[in-house]
Amino acid sequence: MLFSVVHRTSYRYASAVSLSHHTAHLRPLDLPYQTCRSHQLAISPLPTSIEEDRDYFGNGVAAFNITQPHRELIVEATSEVEVAARERPDYLLDRGWEHVAVEAATARSPGALHATEFLFPSPSIDITASVTEFARISFVPGRSILDAALDLNHRIFEEFTFDSQATTITTAPEEVLTLKRGVCQDFAHLAIACCRAMGVPARYVSGYLETQPPRGQPRLVGADASHAWLSVYGGGGDWVDIDPTNDILAGIGHIALAIGRDYRDVSPLRGIIIGGGEHDMDVGVDVERLLI
């Protein structure tokens, strides 16, 4: 499937910004099931300089600065991404989650060594007693890693309410657990915290959902903005992506943008400005199928 993705972010400032430096994670990833065919970044006002590279996790990142005074910043990323269907990872039904945890703890293979980076608390994800208690309901002894991950996915979907006003980008998993409300970022952070609490590596995935699904299929929550889900280590170098906001395995309509320990590693756009005062931000995302 070929998708067109347009991600537009605009900032309007109360007073002039004299200098700004920004980094953008807006180039979709190249993965075994996904290829970024083209990518363009349009920035207004024009940057004084811009450099594109890869970050520590292998994500595409653009760093740019603007030295002319401005009261509005518009960043628009346009990409074409080919995504292949992923087979249901039923082979993970043969792997107990305890075995995966032991493999990650001992790190005796390249895949497990890489996975250990996503085993520990990170800036936005603490592992608390309450989170661990919540996780143990899904990670019962003898259960497969796939069953445990999908049960956790389902419980978050059933027990929590999607509410864009309940949290902010700094809300911790412990608070989400108390509120029982949040957005895709919150649900991904909570699920990651639960996996890590049980010794299973899990990483944060930012990306997009198809805005309008095929006829007869339900429209998924989070399709009008950047989306987030998580990738759970399944042992043997394998990962499985789950989406607790929609209680599904990530599929052909999930377009991966960046992977990190949590949101702070992969926020689509961040920066430092001098001046500006109060500001308004608007984000719009449109994902369209180009080929079936």
Query: How far apart (Å, rounded) are the C-alpha atoms in residues 127 and 241?
Result: 21
Q: Identify the pLDDT of residue 108.
A: 87
Could you tell me the residue ranges of all domains in the chain?
2-83+267-291, 90-265
Q: Identify the pLDDT of residue 114.
A: 93
* End-to-end Cα separation, the chain, in angstroms: 6
| Spans of the chain, pLDDT less than 70 | 211-224, 291-292
Q: Identify the pLDDT of residue 211.
A: 66
Q: Domain spanning 90-265: which CATH class is it, in words?
A: alpha beta
The matching CATH number, chosen from 3.40.50.720, 3.30.930.10, 2.60.40.2250, 3.30.750.24, for 2-83+267-291 is 2.60.40.2250
pLDDT tens column, 75-128: 999 999 999 999 899 999 999 999 999 999 998 889 999 999 999 999 999 999
Q: Which of 185, 91, 177, 172 lies closest to 130 in space, CA to CA?
A: 177
Give yes or no on whether 2-83+267-291 and 90-265 have one common fold: no
Q: Identify the pLDDT of residue 288.
A: 87
Q: Identify the pLDDT of residue 220.
A: 59
- Residue 152 dihedral angles phi and psi, to the nearest 5°: -60, -45
Q: Identify the pLDDT of residue 291.
A: 67
- Residue 192 dihedral angles phi and psi, to the nearest 5°: -60, -45
